[in-house]
Amino acid sequence: MEEDVGPRQTSDVASQLAAEDLSRLSQFELDDRIRLLQVEIARVEQHRLRYSSQRNAAEALFSKKNEG
Alpha carbons 44 and 49: distance in angstroms, whole number = 9
**Which positions ≥6 away from 22 have C-beta within 8 Å?**
30
pLDDT band, very low/low/confident/very high, at 1 (cuts 50, 70, 90): very low
Q: Over the stretch 23-68, which tens digit does the pLDDT of each residue have?
A: 999 999 999 999 999 999 999 999 999 988 888 888 888 887 666 6
Buried b vs exposed e over 15-24: b needs ≥16 C-beta within 10 Å?
eeeeeeeeee
pLDDT confidence of residue 36: 95
pLDDT band, very low/low/confident/very high, at 5 (cuts 50, 70, 90): low
